[in-house]
Amino acid sequence: MTTQLKRLLIPQVDVIPLVEDDLIWLWHWNVEVPDAEWKRWDGPYFGDQDNRSYREFARDWRPRVRTGDRAIITVEGHRCGFVNRFEIEPVGGGWWELGLVIFEPRLWGQGIGRRALSTWTRQTFLETSARVLTLTTWSGNTRMIRCAEQLGYTVTGRVPEAREWDGRRWDSITMSLLRNQIA
Ligand SMILES: CC(C)(COP(=O)(O)OP(=O)(O)OC[C@H]1O[C@@H](n2cnc3c(N)ncnc32)[C@H](O)[C@@H]1OP(=O)(O)O)[C@@H](O)C(=O)NCCC(=O)NCCS
């Protein structure tokens, strides 16, 4: 199937506010799934092992519910991933960092991330005074880099060999998009 045809068949992708009912689902993907594949791509060099009970997890996450800075990605109304954002200090300085994950590998590479990131980027420019948005990843995460490039993000920072993962060194990559660059 060509990429173009694949894209025509992509279902509805939405970014919706994070609510209390999402927490158990997030706990499942963050803690309960053993050796989750998504963690091999999302900052794997941190090697974080999350062993929190649901109670502990929910206690940490609850203050972020309905703040607008964390949200759920849905495909045809079904939860599939998560986006977040935080302001780089000083508050009001105009620089926000975004994050994005789709938990199930079978959904990767179908344009869902691109659509979700497009919505989240627009929403962030609309809801904050951000002048510039950044995403931080690593040189091995080509899917993330390609996904962001499709939306006009460019690589504006590269720290060579900053990360060690899977037996070799990788560059740390920062990608940026200015408010006036949004397509
Ligand atoms: C990164 C992520 C959010 C991207 O979402 P996605 O839906 O997979 O991305 P898209 O399909 O919109 O775009 C992926 C791009 O990479 C390309 N791609 C797909 N599979 C690839 C692969 N194995 N290697 C390299 N590029 C690949 C696609 O062709 C597409 O590029 P194109 O638009 O030029 O054709 C998603 O893959 C994910 O959650 N991965 C695991 C967690 C993660 O890495 N999070 C980001 C942490 S910084």
Query: What pLDDT, on a 0 to 100 scale, did the predictor assign at position 11?
Result: 85
Instruction: Establish whether residue 75 lines the binding site of ligand 1, counting it when its CB lies within 6 angstroms of any ligand atom.
Output: no
Domain count, the chain: 1
Are 182 and 125 in contact, with CB atoms under 8 Å apart?
yes
- What's this model's pTM, rounded to 2 decimal places? 0.94
CATH no. for residue 41?
3.40.630.30
As a whole number, mean pLDDT of residues 127-137 equals: 98
Query: Atom 41 of ligand 1 has which residue's CA nearest to it?
Result: 38
- What is the helix (H) or strand (E) element at residue 163, kind and residue range? strand 154-165
Pocket test for ligand 1, best of 102, 143, 165 (most atoms within 8 A of CB): 143
Instruction: Establish whether residue 111 lines the binding site of ligand 1, counting it when its CB lies within 6 angstroms of any ligand atom.
Output: yes
Of 47, 59, 51, whose CA–CA distance to 23 is shortest? 59
Question: Can you tell me which atom of ligand 1 is nearest the CA of 144?
Answer: 1
- The 10s digit of each residue's pLDDT in 45-104 is 998 788 999 999 999 999 999 899 999 999 999 999 999 999 999 999 999 999 999 999
How sure is the predictor about 130, in pLDDT bands with cuts at 50, 70 and 90? very high
Q: What angle do CA 61, 67, 69 make, to 5 degrees?
A: 85
Domain with 48, as residue range(s), is: 3-181
Are 115 and 147 in contact, with CB atoms under 8 Å apart?
no
- The 10s digit of each residue's pLDDT in 12-32 is 999 999 999 999 999 999 999
